[in-house]
Amino acid sequence: MSEVVETKAVADAFLKQFGIEPEVTAYSPGRVNLLGEHTDYNGGYVLPMALRDLGVSIALAKGDEPGVIKAYSDTFDEVETRSIEDVRQGRWTDYLLGCLKAVVYEEVEEFGLRVALATTLPMGAGLSSSAALEVVSLKGALELFGRKLNPVDVAILAQSIENNFIGMPCGIMDQFASSVGDPGVAMFLNTRSLDYELVATPEDYAFVIIASGVSHQHTENGYATRVAECLAACEALGVEKISDLGVADLDRVNQIAEPLNRRARHVIMDNQRVVEGVDALRKNDMVRFGQLMHDSHGSQRDDYEITVEKTDAMVEACLSRGALGARQTGGGWGGSVVALVEKSALEAFNKSILGDFDGIEILAVT
Ligand code: GLA
């Protein structure tokens, strides 16, 4: 439903900007991560859920100048002009450009391209706006030029563009959830083998996504520092990936240098929490699932040190307002909190939590 509405909106924006109808439109969702944070680049498990109503849509048509890309975004309300030969310039169009270079370089060189993007996914809210932008750019460009790539390969390619063209050493969770996920359904993903399973969440519970108003800036280096610390922990422990280790190895892990011991401990425990969380979902044990979410937040706060005061306070407030569990979700240092709430208590919960903090916003209930 919303996909149709959003692709109509982007087609209208395209027509307004360029005075012609687009040739194709596409839509890709953002995601919320329910459990398993910073485990993906460590070869571990994650439990994201693609979002129903928050995503990025794209409209495209061939251009009027060989090699030239004219791209409009409703977020910035401007048209940027780039050449397909450009290198990264620290502009929003880098994401689009990296994708075009990867799949339709020659076609854009020959015809040029006009693009409009529209988003319902706020940037910096920890809901993977960059991955959705990459996935939708690849999908749209491939379709325009009659090319095909399966959703898993789109996700792998999108991650490699983010790693190599944008320079952000992310894992594959976000691109995979956006490209392969089923909106509104949790996805249990092994980020090493890329095996995954869709897992239903009980009907009488909801996940409430609350933007903290504190915006993360991954590329600024906090994220890359954690990636480097995990590599150093692997070296100290003599493993290829932290996910080669499990709960039985914790004594050994605790003995390596600070803070590498805590970083590795977080990854091992969050991996374990994903496995236990999937089991809890299957048994309809939402009290257990909520507890795992809360434990995961504590581990992000104390061991991985990627939370901020406001998300810490929001998580505790969610619990005191009746949530079964809550945690900061996404890359870290702000973004959004996701809370598990019984549907019968939802209205009262939403009202009271909004009264507790300035500048927070309920972005979705899923
Ligand atoms: C960002 C990255 C993901 C993942 C999360 C943390 O969203 O893009 O690959 O590492 O942070 O779990």
Query: Residue 204 pLDDT > 60, yes or no?
Result: yes
Q: Is residue 41 lining ligand 1, measured as CB closer than 6 Å?
A: yes
Residue 51 binned pLDDT confidence (cut-offs 50, 70, 90): very high
Residue 264 is part of a domain; what is its CATH number? 3.30.70.890
- Tally the domains of the chain: 2
3-state helix, strand, coil in the chain (%, to 5): 50, 20, 30
Q: Whose CA is nearest to atom 5 of ligand 1?
A: 331
Examine the domain organization and report whether 28 and 128 are in the same domain: yes
Q: Is residue 173 lining ligand 1, measured as CB closer than 6 Å?
A: yes
Q: Rounded mean pLDDT of 340-345?
A: 98
CB-based contacts of 298, cutoff 8 Å, min separation 6:
none
Examine the domain organization and report whether 142 and 248 are in the same domain: no
Q: Rounded mean pLDDT of 23-30?
A: 98
Q: Rounded mean pLDDT of 288-308?
A: 98
pLDDT of residue 117: 98
pLDDT of residue 2: 65
Examine the domain organization and report whether 181 and 328 are in the same domain: no
Examine the domain organization and report whether 299 and 166 are in the same domain: no
Q: Is residue 330 lining ligand 1, measured as CB closer than 6 Å?
A: yes
Q: Is residue 38 lining ligand 1, measured as CB closer than 6 Å?
A: yes
Out of 165, 198, 231, a domain closes at 198
User: What CA dihedral angle connects 101, 107, 112 and 115, to 10 degrees?
Assistant: -60
Q: Which ligand 1 atom is nearest residue 33's CA?
A: 12
Examine the domain organization and report whether 20 and 136 are in the same domain: yes
Out of 164, 180, 198, a domain closes at 198
Examine the domain organization and report whether 221 and 136 are in the same domain: no
pLDDT digits 0-9 by tens, 95-148 = 999 999 999 999 999 999 999 999 999 988 999 999 999 999 999 999 999 999
pLDDT digits 0-9 by tens, 143-199 = 999 999 999 999 999 999 999 999 999 999 999 999 999 999 999 999 999 999 999
Enumerate the H helices of 205-259 as residue ranges: 222-237, 250-254
Residue 3 binned pLDDT confidence (cut-offs 50, 70, 90): confident
Averaged confidence pLDDT in the chain:
96
Examine the domain organization and report whether 167 and 253 are in the same domain: no
**In 3D, which of 121, 83, 158, 276 has the Cα closest to residue 149?**
158
- CA dist list (Å): 259 to 11, 87, 226, 230: 50, 36, 10, 10
CA of 38 to the centre of ligand 1 (A): 6
Residue-number span of the structural domain to which 351 is assigned: 204-365
Examine the domain organization and report whether 208 and 194 are in the same domain: no
Residues in the chain: 366
% residues pLDDT > 70 (the chain): 98
